[in-house]
Structure 1
């Protein structure tokens, strides 16, 4: 698979990391970092039934920043990298919130999950030999 993110994602996508009400990641389309921050806090507050003052964000990054900081050969896949060390991805986003219905973003997520599942199968098959 070779899903390409839409131009909308490339210009308006932000990844938010939350500390409370729970640790998590969300993807949202917004016109600015501040708008992404506001919308993310509001939606998470509504989803968890708490006031926005109790929603804590620890990181808001744009698509451009995520690509620049990432290491994956597929630049679009870099948006899902959570922890990187020595040129290797140590952690991928797990069960993120998608606060958009952009089909290319959802397709890229499906592609990542399929790649990770295939890697697990290959590892199990190697061990079984």
Structure 2
């Protein structure tokens, strides 16, 4: 059964990257807000509190709305596109790993769990295939 994202996700969800682009310490962050500006402000204030840093030291980039992510993604399941980070042609090559959810939206968490289960399953199948070769 495929989890469907809530209307709240479709209209209010933003994804942003927290950390400097040249750093290996980057986190994908999901936040609900009424606008891009509100999403940036909310993410900044929550991340500053979570990581005990001054708000001006919170570095965010690549802020994208649900619509932006769906438009730029390639997955058949459009809801999964919010977790895509890289592509090789029409195939997803990089998925968001260990995202930080600044929301308790059950549909978003369920969609992540569904994707994570698929990734783990595919990894196990590939390991078994290699072991048999």
Shorter-chain TM band: over 0.9
Judge conservation of contact 1:18–1:59 (CA < 8 Å) in 2: no
Q: Give the superposed CA RMSD.
A: 1.3
Residue of structure 1 equivalent to 2:61: 58
Q: Which deviations, in whole Å up to 9, do the C-alpha atoms of 1:31-69 show, x marking residues without a partner? A: 000000000011111111011100111110000000000
TM-score (normalizing by structure 2): 0.92
Residue 122 (structure 1) aligns with: 125
Shift of 1:94: 0.7
Residues 84, 91 of structure 1: 8 Å contact kept: yes
More divergent stretch after superposition (19-28 vs 30-39): 19-28
Alignment size in residue pairs: 129
Q: Does 1:91 align with 2:99?
A: no
Contact 1:15 1:60 in 2 (8 A): yes
Ranges in structure 2 where 5+ consecutive residues have no aligned partner: none
Q: 1:90: Cα distance to partner?
A: 1.5
- TM-score using structure 1 length: 0.95
Residue 128 (structure 1) shift = 2.3
Mapping 1:1-129, distance limit 5 Å: 1-20=1-20, 22-129=25-132
